[in-house]
Amino acid sequence: MGAMPTWIDTHVHLDEFVHHGGAAHADAVRKEARRRGVAHCVLPAVECANFDAVRELAARHGDSYALGIHPLFTRQAGEADLQALADELERRSGDPRLVAIGEIGLDYFDQTLDDGRQQHLWREQLRLARQHELPVIVHSRRAVDQILKGLRELPVRGGIAHAFNGSEQQARLLVEMGFKLGFGGAATFERAHQIRRLAARLPLEALVLETDAPDIPPHWLYVTAAERAAGTPPARNTPGELPRIGEVIAGLRGMDPAELARASRDNACVALPRLGALLGAE
C-alpha cells in the first residue's frame, strides 16, 4: 500500500471553530485534518476583527493566512477598515505566512449589500494587492463578470477564485489572468452539474482544492430542510473532509487521488508564491 496522499486546503475559516467551540476545539479540528493527510491550510480573514486570529492560528499550526475584508462584511466596513488593512499589511510584510490578500471580492447573491460600497472596497483592496505585490483570494458569488472587469482594470499577481461556480469561458479567462480555481464540497453533489463538469474538464493545472470549512459541506454532511425541521442539527464542514472531497473530484477526472493531491499542491504554490517558499522551507 502506498503512502497516504498529502493535501492542501486552500480555504479554511479555522477561526470560526474558535468562535463556536473555543481554541481547543479549533486545535482538535486541525489535528484531525492533519491525521487524515491535510498537510497545510490557508486561513483567510473576512474582517479586521479577525486579522490577529488567523495570523495566530496559522503560526500555531504551521499554516498560512490571508488578510482582507469579505464582501459580506462590507456593510460595517469603511475607510478606517481599509486603513487598518493597509497598516496590517505593512506591519506583516516580512511574515512568510502571509500569502495573499483575501477573502475579498463581490457578492450579488445577497441583495441587501450596497453595490457601491462593496465595489469600492473590492477595488481598494486590489490596489493594496498591487502595492504589496500579493495575489488575491477572491469571493465571486454571482459576480464573476464584475470580478473579471475589476481584474482587467486593476490587474494583480493572480491568486485563487474561491468556490468557483461560473462558466467554462469565465474559468478560462481567470486562468489566463493567473488564477487557479477552487473546488470543494459543492462538487460532491450529483445535481451540481456545472461545477462537476468544470472539475472534470478544466486543465489539471487550473485546479486547487478547498473546503471553506465550516461552510459548503460535502453531500455526506448535508442536512436537508426537512431534517433540520425535524430537529437534526446541521453538520459543520471541517478541513478533515478534504481528502474525501479530493477522491470525488479525482473520480470525476478519472485519475488517482494521489496524483490530484500532488497537482493541486503544486497549483496552490503557483497561485500563492509565498506558500511555495514556505512549504519548501519546512
Which residues are part of a known binding site for a divalent metal cation? 11, 13, 103, 139, 162, 212
- Helix or strand run (H / E) with residue 159: strand 159-161
- Assign 13 to helix, strand or coil: coil
Residue with cell 491535510: 38
* Distance separating alpha carbons of residues 183 and 165, to the nearest angstrom: 9
* Distance separating alpha carbons of residues 75 and 171, to the nearest angstrom: 29
- What the block records as the C-alpha cell of 253 is 477526472
* Distance separating alpha carbons of residues 264 and 98, to the nearest angstrom: 20
Phi, psi of 160 (to 5 degrees): -130, 130
Q: How many helices (H) and strands (E) does the chain have?
A: 12, 8
* Distance separating alpha carbons of residues 196 and 105, to the nearest angstrom: 23
* Distance separating alpha carbons of residues 273 and 278, to the nearest angstrom: 9
For the chain, the distance separating the N- and C-terminal CA atoms, rounded to the nearest angstrom, is 26
- What the block records as the C-alpha cell of 17 is 471553530
- Known binding positions: 11, 13, 103, 139, 162, 212
